[in-house]
């Protein structure tokens, strides 16, 4: 009895020793393999030389690419690009050239701004720092509705250019062909009067192309009225938080300015519609003025259409 018990204990001890030895061998192999694995040697990208090539290509006195080619690649003029680059460098340390902890010189502010603007212009994936830098720098000025200080400037400009007092701007919609529309969405973005899928855009711009309202991407065969009912253009007026810019016309007080529109729009106090069939000299003069204003507005629409890169539906920006 004692001999069989001691035999089984010996077998158990041998099993424990074997398992422990296997564990030790495994740990040793792992340690050796991890020690043998080394980091890949760093790739020397020569950031300074890349900066010099960028300057020679686009930003020196006699660049390789002229103004037309520059605008086609970056969707903006060279002057505007340089202004944005300088503003970002003065606002955020991220857009300046810095030295890393290892003593290597990083990318220049011009290189970082080039990457950011190319991403914004073509809709590619981006670093959050790039977008946050642009938004923090220009958001309060451009990504907003007009304030009580802006409205008198808009009034004066439209009266001087178009002859319409207390006018905020022209309101209209346009369809833009969406060549890259996903196949699953083509049916809901297609209208019978267009050959392929389109994106409908509603926008309001000032005389200097400050586009302070844009709404686009709603699916369905929409006309201007359906699109107006879903946009947020008059939310501030409905909520009674819009700036009070009241004026008098024909002894009637109006609390807010108005938008010039086509005849399809509803009869609202904030909308002044053009006349389709004027029958006297006064109405003929009014139609002539509205036509001139519409031409200027459609020129702004063409500018938006050229620069617009569409990727996601139902986007609002006011």
pLDDT digits (tens, 9 = 90+) for 98-135: 887 777 888 888 888 887 777 666 655 555 555 666 66
Q: Are 108 and 51 in contact (CB under 8 A)?
A: yes
**Chain CA centroid to CA 219, Å:** 20
Question: 82-91, 137-146, 156-165, 193-202: lowest mean pLDDT where?
Answer: 137-146
Q: Are 144 and 98 in contact (CB under 8 A)?
A: no
d(CA 214, CA 173): 10
What integer is the mean pLDDT of 33-40?
A: 60
Is residue 169 over pLDDT 70? yes
What is the residue whose two structure tokens read 């030790």? 24
Q: Are 241 and 138 in contact (CB under 8 A)?
A: no
The alpha-helical segments, DSSP class H, found in 143-179 are 150-162
Position 314 confidence tier, pLDDT thresholds 50, 70, 90: very low
Pick the closest to residue 75 from 296, 316, 308, 311 (CA basis).
308
Q: Which residues contact 310 (CB under 8 A, 6 or more apart)?
A: 123, 176, 178, 180, 199, 216, 217
Q: Which residues contact 65 (CB under 8 A, 6 or more apart)?
A: 57, 58, 73
d(CA 246, CA 296): 26
Q: Are 199 and 175 in contact (CB under 8 A)?
A: yes
Q: Which helix (H) or strand (E) holds 297?
A: helix 281-307
- Burial code of 268-297, b = ≥16 C-beta within 10 A, e = fewer? eebbbbbeeeeeeeeeeebeeebeebbeeb
Q: Which residues contact 241 (CB under 8 A, 6 or more apart)?
A: none
Q: Are 205 and 212 in contact (CB under 8 A)?
A: yes
When the pLDDT of each residue in the chain is averaged and rounded to a whole number, the result is 75
Pick the closest to residue 75 from 135, 116, 133 (CA basis).
116
Q: What is the pLDDT of residue 34?
A: 58
Q: Which helix (H) or strand (E) holds 4?
A: helix 2-36
d(CA 263, CA 273): 5
Pick the closest to residue 164 from 266, 14, 315, 291 (CA basis).
291
User: How much is the pTM?
Assistant: 0.56
d(CA 203, CA 301): 8
Question: 92-106, 129-143, 188-202, 281-295: lowest mean pLDDT where?
Answer: 129-143
pLDDT in tens, 56-101: 999 888 889 898 888 888 878 888 888 888 888 888 787 788 887 7
Is residue 227 over pLDDT 70? yes
Is residue 149 over pLDDT 80? yes
More confident residue, 117 or 295: 117
Is residue 249 over pLDDT 70? yes
Position 297 confidence tier, pLDDT thresholds 50, 70, 90: low
Structure tokens at 277: 């069939």
3-state class (DSSP) for residue 145:
coil
- With a pLDDT cut of 70, the percent of the chain lying above it is 74
Position 215 confidence tier, pLDDT thresholds 50, 70, 90: confident
What is the residue whose two structure tokens read 């200027």? 296
Full DSSP string of 68-96: HHHHHHHSS-HHHHHHHHHHHHHH-GGGS
Is residue 184 over pLDDT 60? yes
Pick the closest to residue 141 from 208, 203, 92, 234 (CA basis).
208
Q: Which residues contact 254 (CB under 8 A, 6 or more apart)?
A: 166, 246, 247, 248, 269
């Amino acid at each position: 009895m004692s001999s069989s018990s001691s035999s089984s204990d010996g077998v158990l001890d041998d099993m424990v020793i074997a398992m422990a030895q296997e564990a030790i061998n495994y740990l040793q192999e792992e340690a050796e393999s991890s020690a043998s694995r080394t980091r890949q040697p760093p790739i020397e990208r020569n950031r300074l030389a890349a900066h010099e090539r960028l300057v020679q290509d686009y930003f020196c006195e006699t660049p390789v690419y002229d103004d037309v080619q520059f605008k086609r690649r970056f969707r903006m003029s060279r002057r505007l690009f340089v202004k944005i680059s300088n503003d970002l460098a003065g606002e955020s340390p991220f857009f300046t050239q810095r030295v890393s902890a290892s003593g290597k010189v990083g990318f220049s502010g011009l290189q970082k701004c080039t990457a950011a603007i190319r991403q914004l212009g073509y809709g590619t994936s981006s670093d959050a720092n790039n977008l946050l830098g642009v938004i923090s720098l220009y958001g309060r000025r451009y990504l907003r509705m007009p304030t009580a200080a802006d409205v008198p400037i808009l009034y004066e400009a439209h009266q001087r250019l178009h002859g319409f007092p207390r006018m905020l701007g022209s309101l209209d919609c346009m369809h833009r062909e969406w060549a890259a529309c996903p196949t699953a969405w083509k049916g809901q973005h297609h209208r019978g009067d267009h050959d392929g899928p389109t994106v409908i855009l509603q926008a309001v711009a000032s005389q200097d192309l400050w586009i302070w309202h844009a709404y686009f991407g709603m699916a369905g065969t929409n006309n201007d009225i359906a699109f107006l009912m879903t946009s947020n253009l008059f939310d501030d007026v409905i909520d009674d938080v819009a700036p009070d810019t009241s004026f008098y016309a024909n002894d009637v007080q109006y609390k807010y300015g108005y938008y010039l529109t086509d005849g399809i729009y509803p009869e609202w106090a904030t909308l002044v519609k053009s006349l389709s069939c004027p029958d006297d000299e006064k109405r003929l003069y009014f139609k002539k003025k509205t036509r001139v204003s519409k031409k200027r507005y459609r020129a702004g629409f063409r500018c938006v259409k050229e620069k617009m890169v569409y990727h996601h539906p139902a986007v609002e920006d006011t």
